[in-house]
Chain A
Amino acid sequence: MKKRYSLKSLEEMPITAISFLTTEGNETGEWRSQRPLLDLEKCNQCGLCWMYCPDNAILPEKDSFQISYKYCKGCGICAKECPKGAILLVKEKR
């Protein structure tokens, strides 16, 4: 992730939040109240969860998929769309 501005002082700050951070810096995982759990035994790597995820929080791996909890907001679309029922939503515990 490339930071364009240092935020040590008011003077160094830009006038607006344009060019502040890339979306990579906007970690939305903390918003989550439900946590999707991927059962790799049931997963057939069809990729629908990856296609439907509105936050690019499902990352394709070599032979499977991984959920990035840094960004996943817990919307549950992946669990709804998974034809194999391989994604289970559980209450997020913090």
Chain B
Amino acid sequence: MKKVISANQSVSHAVLAAKAQVIAAYPITPQSSIVEMIANFCSTGQLHAKFINVESEHSAMAACISASVVGARTFTATSSQGLALMHELLHYASGLRLPIVMANVNRALASPFNLKADLSDSLSQRDTGWLQFYCESGQEVFDTIIQAYRISEQVLLPVMVNLEGFILSHTYEIVDIPEQSEIDRFLSPPAPRDCLNVENPCLFGGTTDFYINFRYKMHEGMERAKIICQECDVQFQEVFGRSYGLIQSYLCEDAELILVTAGTIAGTCCVAADQYRERGLKVGVLRIRLFRPFPGEQICLALGKTKKVAVIDRDFSPGCGGIFAQEIKSILQGRRGGLPVYEFIAGLGGKDVTDEDIGRVIDQTYQNPEPGGVTWIGLLK
């Protein structure tokens, strides 16, 4: 059924459709409306789940871990400082190989205080062993949450689904919510796995000299996740008629310049690419949907024969630059080391990134024969 809902509500509807069994969350802007709606589903009996009110995000993740360890399908949502507070337990969740699904509504980290979109919060959690998706629309958010449960329960690693605060989270769009029978056809109840069991007591996550081996198993899981994510997306299309891939490319085949970005900036990039194509300049757009595991091979393939790449980051690693830019440069090394990568930082703290801004990115990349450091878009004069 088609509904006009916000992307946050889209998350809530997806969690309802996935029949999550335990939800633990702590409110934080701009995430709060996700769990408020889920709490409502629980109180009206639409969702037969245990909703646990906790005193912090750290406890929210601890509750999800505990519920997941006994086999429950779990969910939580957070943003920014809340995600940062969870950090320690994010490692715990992935190390225990728990299929927890979390929505993170991207918000800038303080200080200074800012409630708006910035991907630095989740990208700061890059090395915690969670799969990370970055969405562009309310529909994609719904679909990715559904996919996330299936993926995480197959690879036994937790999944973080990211959507930008306000720009996406609070924007109302038409979202097609499939019939429950269709969802059930795609997403089975959680399969039995190694869980805590009073009949057969065991220690979990205890001290072990085999640590390096478990880390290697996590690496294998992440490698496998690349294949599972791809397969899951294909099967999703068979049932629902929609698919996204690990990356999405727009007019990349013959492009001389490809704009690489994540999240909602990609849509604006497509508009700018159309404008430049009308003027005869071959511009393409590559949106990275899956960030961990990083789909390096697909990205290199999609970059094809392009002569230049411009990466636009709505995130910032102080002392280095844009995080996506670093990742792109690292995967090109050894594959297409000579391809120049122009780096741009834009839209931090929810600052609008307009088609004129993208135009400046394109102009600068065309005009300069070589990349020269990171260019910041939208600073005061």
User: Contacting chain B: which of A12-20, A37-45, A51-59, A77-85?
Assistant: A12-20
Q: How many residues of A contact B (CB 8 A)?
A: 16
Question: Are A18 and B204 interface neighbours, CB within 8 A?
Answer: yes
Contact of B69 among A7, A14, A18, A26 (CB under 8 A): A18
Whether B44 sits at the interface, judged by CB under 8 Å, is no
Question: Are A19 and B95 interface neighbours, CB within 8 A?
Answer: no
User: Contacting chain A: which of B83-91, B209-217, B236-244, B344-352?
Assistant: B209-217
Whether B178 sits at the interface, judged by CB under 8 Å, is no
Question: Are B202 and A14 interface neighbours, CB within 8 A?
Answer: no
Question: Are B206 and A16 interface neighbours, CB within 8 A?
Answer: no
Best-buried of A10, A18, A19, A20 by chain B (most CB within 10 Å): A18
Contacts of A13 in B (CB 8 A): 210, 213-214, 217
Contacts of A4 in B (CB 8 A): 202
* Chain A min CB distance to B217 (Å): 5
Interface residues on B, range: 20 to 34
Question: Are B201 and A22 interface neighbours, CB within 8 A?
Answer: yes
Render B214-237 as a binary contact track against A, CB cut-off 8 A, 1 for contact: 101110010000000000000000
Contact of A18 among B96, B207, B213, B218 (CB under 8 A): B96
Contacts of A15 in B (CB 8 A): 97, 156, 214, 217-218, 221
Within 8 A of B (CB), among A2-30: 4, 7, 10, 13-23, 25-26
A15-B97, A15-B221, A17-B208 known; A22-B194 Cβ under 8 A: no
Question: Are B205 and A7 interface neighbours, CB within 8 A?
Answer: no
Assembled-state Cα–Cα distance A33/B218 (Å): 35
Question: Are B203 and A20 interface neighbours, CB within 8 A?
Answer: yes
Chain A residue nearest in CB terms to B96? A16
Chain B residue nearest in CB terms to A13? B213
Chain B residue nearest in CB terms to A4? B202
Render A51-79 as a binary contact track against B, CB cut-off 8 A, 1 for contact: 00000000000000000000000000000
* Chain A min CB distance to B241 (Å): 34
Chain B residue nearest in CB terms to A18? B204
Assembled-state Cα–Cα distance A15/B96 (Å): 8
Contacts of A26 in B (CB 8 A): 203, 206-207
Within 8 A of A (CB), among B309-366: none
Contacts of A16 in B (CB 8 A): 95-97, 156, 194, 204-205, 214, 217
Question: Are A17 and B204 interface neighbours, CB within 8 A?
Answer: yes
Assembled-state Cα–Cα distance A56/B312 (Å): 57
Contacts of A21 in B (CB 8 A): 202-203, 206
Contacts of B218 in A (CB 8 A): 15
A7-B210, A13-B210 known; A19-B217 Cβ under 8 A: no
* Chain B min CB distance to A41 (Å): 37
Assembled-state Cα–Cα distance A17/B205 (Å): 5
Contacts of B203 in A (CB 8 A): 17, 20-23, 25-26
* Chain A min CB distance to B208 (Å): 5
Question: Are A14 and B216 interface neighbours, CB within 8 A?
Answer: no
Contact of B208 among A10, A20, A22, A23 (CB under 8 A): A20
Question: Are A19 and B202 interface neighbours, CB within 8 A?
Answer: yes
Assembled-state Cα–Cα distance A20/B211 (Å): 12
Contacts of B97 in A (CB 8 A): 15-16, 18
Contacts of B195 in A (CB 8 A): 18
* Chain B min CB distance to A13 (Å): 6
* Chain A min CB distance to B157 (Å): 9
Question: Are B194 and A14 interface neighbours, CB within 8 A?
Answer: yes
Assembled-state Cα–Cα distance A16/B208 (Å): 11
Contacts of A18 in B (CB 8 A): 69, 96-97, 194-196, 202, 204-205
Contacts of A7 in B (CB 8 A): 210
Question: Are B204 and A19 interface neighbours, CB within 8 A?
Answer: yes
| In the A-B complex, the 5 residue pairs with the closest CB atoms | A18-B204, A16-B97, A19-B202, A15-B217, A23-B203
User: 25 A-B pairs, CB-CB below 8 angstroms?
Assistant: A10-B216, A10-B217, A13-B210, A13-B214, A15-B221, A16-B96, A16-B156, A16-B204, A16-B205, A16-B214, A17-B95, A17-B205, A17-B210, A18-B204, A18-B205, A19-B202, A19-B204, A20-B202, A20-B206, A20-B208, A21-B202, A21-B203, A21-B206, A23-B206, A26-B207
Q: Beyond A13-B214, A17-B214, list 5 extra A-B contacts (CB 8 Å).
A: A15-B97, A18-B196, A18-B204, A20-B204, A21-B206
